[in-house]
Amino acid sequence: MILVDSSVWIDYFRGTHTPETDRLDALLGAEPVATGDLILAEVLQGFADDRDFNQAKKLLTALPIVELVGTEIAIQAARNFRALRAQGITVRKTIDTLIATRCIENGLTLLYSDRDFDPFVEHLGLRAAISRT
């Protein structure tokens, strides 16, 4: 299953064409695509218009929604953060550490356009839906 990060959903809903949004467009209806509960919140909070909010909510809640955080993921995310920091890599957002960790722990592939996930691919085994090399 491919988990889609808010960085891709936001571009998708804005109509921005990127390799990631093109990949998402190809995946929808063809392969299992999911979103996460925190991702859902990140995406939906960005809509100013009620109609757009409701349309996005309808689309996103029709997909499987992965619960991203629990005690074990929180602890492992802290370990992952510390492991990257020990290598001189600063992860800017805790939410990205939680998303990456859930994907790593559950064998989910992540479709993202946020470069903050790259160290998780390079050093911790996160599977990316699009090669960024």
User: Domains along the chain?
Assistant: 2-128 (3.40.50.1010)
Instruction: Check residue 76 and give its pLDDT.
Output: 98
How many whole angstroms separate alpha carbon 132 and alpha carbon 121?
A: 10
Q: What is the mean pLDDT of residues 82-101?
A: 96
Instruction: Check residue 29 and give its pLDDT.
Output: 84
pLDDT digits (tens, 9 = 90+) for 19-51: 999 999 999 989 899 999 999 999 999 999 999
Q: Which residue in this structure is represented by tokens 């859902």?
A: 40
Is pLDDT at 133 greater than 90 in this prediction? Answer: no
